[in-house]
Amino acid sequence: MALQIGHNRSARGLQYGYLVGQMSKGEKVDYVIVDEAQFLAPEQIDQLARIVDDLDLDVFAFGITTDFRTKLFPGSQRLIELADRIETLQVEAMCWCGARATHNARTVGGEMVVEGEQVVVGDVNRSPEEVGYEVLCRRHHRRRMTSAAAHAAALSPDVLPVNPA
């Protein structure tokens, strides 16, 4: 059996003691899977390391490293500090331009923002007035050029050749 703990469950309640309790009751735990590990507190990452070291269980933690401001999430930072091995998944997201997407962009009302709370729930399938996210390459993240902004610029008369006559 695998114990799966994700952010939709009570990830904040992840405790080393919980696993010890389950195993003391005879429950067999083969490994622990954590999804959205960036949202864990550094203390919870410490507990995951303790699960590996003291209970001899493998822990597989998945998540992203940086937020829309290109700042490390505290959980990701601690995970990088303690991880025995870090692997980039072979499934790579692509920017609208076709380059490898390495950054997350937050949009509000269709405009990219670079300030605000680190964690705000949004959706990629949203109305333009809502908070959303888009993956971009570093170049387009720095330029704040989302796919919508690029499409709007391509349709702008300012980019068409102008005849001075």
Rg from Cα positions in the chain: 21
Dihedral sign from CA coordinates of 147, 124, 70, 82: negative
The pairing of beta strand 103-108 with beta strand 111-113: antiparallel
92 catalytic? Reply is no
Q: Is 45 left (phi over 0), alpha (psi -120 to 50) or beta?
A: alpha
Cβ(61)–Cβ(79) below 8 Å: yes
Q: Which residue among the candidates 27, 36, 111, 129 is catalytic per the annotation? A: 36
Residue positions annotated with a catalytic role: 36
